[in-house]
C-alpha cells in the first residue's frame, strides 16, 4: 500500500471520470464493431470498492454491449455441475464486454474460508483454474483480472459507515460480517490463490482501493489501455426526414397520467 495522499480534488475527479467514460463508449463501439469478446473479473475484499467501480464503468455504456454478471449462490442443480459451468454460460459472445462482480474465484475465497467446499474441490480448483483461463484466452476471449486491495483499517471504517447509515446497510451481508471476523483466513486464501493463478498469460492486476476515487480512475484507465481500440464514434449520422403524420390520435383525456407532484 502506498502512503496516504491528500484528498483528490472533486472537480478533477469528476472531469477525469467523465473523460474516461467517454473513452469507454469508444471502446464499447470498437468491441461491437470488431466482435471482440472481453471478460473482466472484479475480485477483492468486501467493501473494497468493486461495486462502485463497476457502476462507473457501466454508467454511460450500452447494457446490450457492456453487461454485469453477478451470480447468486449456486442452486442445488448447479452444485452437481462442473464447477465452471454456470460461469461459462455468462461469458461474452462476440461484440460483448462482461464484467464479473465476483467470479469463479469464489471457490478460492469465500468457499474455502467458510467451508462451503471440500479440500479436494478447492485443490482441484487451484490446479484447473490456470488451464481453464488459458483455454478462454486461446479461444479469443480477452481476460482481465482485477483484485481490489483495501487495508483492514479502511475496511473497518467502511463497515462502520454502512452499519450507521440505513441507506447503506443493505450492502452488509452476513458473509461480509464473517469476512471481518476472518480477516487473516481471507489473507491466507488470497495469497494462495495468487500463487497458483497469477500467471504470465492471465496476471492479477492489483488496485489500491483505500482511496475509492483514485481506485476507480486507475482501474478504468488501465482497462482502456488493456484493450487496444480505435474511435469509431466520430462518424457523422444524419436524421432521416420524419414521416408525414396524418394519423388522428386518441384524446389525451383517455390516458391515465402519473400525478405531477413536482
Chain segment 96-117, per-residue pLDDT in tens:
999 999 999 999 999 999 999 9
The SS3 assignment for 120 reads helix
Q: What is the pLDDT of residues 156-195, one digit of tens each?
A: 888 788 888 877 777 677 777 777 778 899 999 999 999 9
The SS3 assignment for 230 reads coil
Whole-number pLDDT of residue 246: 84
pTM (two decimals):
0.89
Quote the CA–CA distance of 34 and 29 in Å, as a whole number.
8
Whole-number pLDDT of residue 1: 47
Whole-number pLDDT of residue 3: 57
Quote the CA–CA distance of 44 and 201 in Å, as a whole number.
20
Quote the CA–CA distance of 21 and 26 in Å, as a whole number.
9
Whole-number pLDDT of residue 241: 87
Helices (H), ranges, the chain: 10-34, 50-58, 76-79, 85-88, 110-114, 119-138, 152-164, 174-181, 183-197, 212-226
Quote the CA–CA distance of 137 and 120 in Å, as a whole number.
26
Q: Which residue has the cell 475480485?
A: 43
Q: Once rounded to an integer, what is the mean pLDDT over residues 124-138?
A: 98
Whether residue 4 is predicted with pLDDT greater than 70 in this model: the reply is: no
Q: What is the pLDDT of residues 47-97, one digit of tens each?
A: 889 999 999 999 999 999 999 999 999 999 999 999 999 999 999 999 999
Which domains are seen in the chain, by residue range?
A: 10-236 (3.40.50.300)
Amino acid at each position: 500500500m502506498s502512503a496516504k495522499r491528500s484528498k483528490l480534488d472533486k472537480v478533477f475527479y469528476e472531469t477525469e471520470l467523465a473523460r474516461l467514460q467517454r473513452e469507454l463508449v469508444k471502446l464499447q463501439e470498437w468491441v461491437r464493431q470488431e466482435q471482440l469478446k472481453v471478460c473482466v473479473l472484479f475480485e477483492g475484499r468486501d467493501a473494497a470498492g468493486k461495486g462502485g467501480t463497476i457502476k462507473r464503468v457501466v454508467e454511460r455504456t450500452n447494457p446490450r454491449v457492456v453487461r454485469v454478471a453477478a451470480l447468486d449462490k449456486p442452486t442445488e442443480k448447479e452444485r452437481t455441475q462442473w464447477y465452471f459451468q454456470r460461469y461459462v454460460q455468462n461469458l461474452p459472445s462476440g461484440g460483448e464486454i462482461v464484467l464479473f462482480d465476483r467470479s469463479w474465484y469464489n471457490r478460492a475465497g469465500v468457499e474455502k474460508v467458510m467451508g462451503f467446499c471440500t479440500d479436494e474441490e478447492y485443490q482441484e480448483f487451484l490446479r484447473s483454474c490456470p488451464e481453464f483461463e488459458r483455454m478462454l484466452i486461446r479461444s479469443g476471449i480477452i481476460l482481465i483480472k482485477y483484485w481490489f486491495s483495501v487495508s483492514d483499517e479502511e475496511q473497518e471504517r467502511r463497515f462502520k459507515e454502512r452499519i450507521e447509515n440505513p441507506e447503506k446497510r443493505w450492502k452488509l451481508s452476513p458473509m461480509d460480517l464473517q469476512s471481518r471476523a476472518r480477516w487473516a483466513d481471507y489473507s491466507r486464501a488470497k495469497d494462495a490463490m495468487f500463487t497458483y493463478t497469477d500467471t504470465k498469460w492471465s496476471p492479477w492486476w492489483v488496485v489500491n482501493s483505500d482511496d475509492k476515487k483514485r481506485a476507480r480512475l486507475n482501474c478504468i484507465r488501465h482497462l482502456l489501455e488493456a484493450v487496444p481500440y480505435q474511435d469509431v464514434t466520430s462518424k457523422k449520422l444524419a436524421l432521416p426526414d420524419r414521416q408525414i403524420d396524418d394519423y388522428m390520435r386518441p384524446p389525451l383525456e383517455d390516458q391515465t397520467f402519473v400525478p405531477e407532484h413536482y
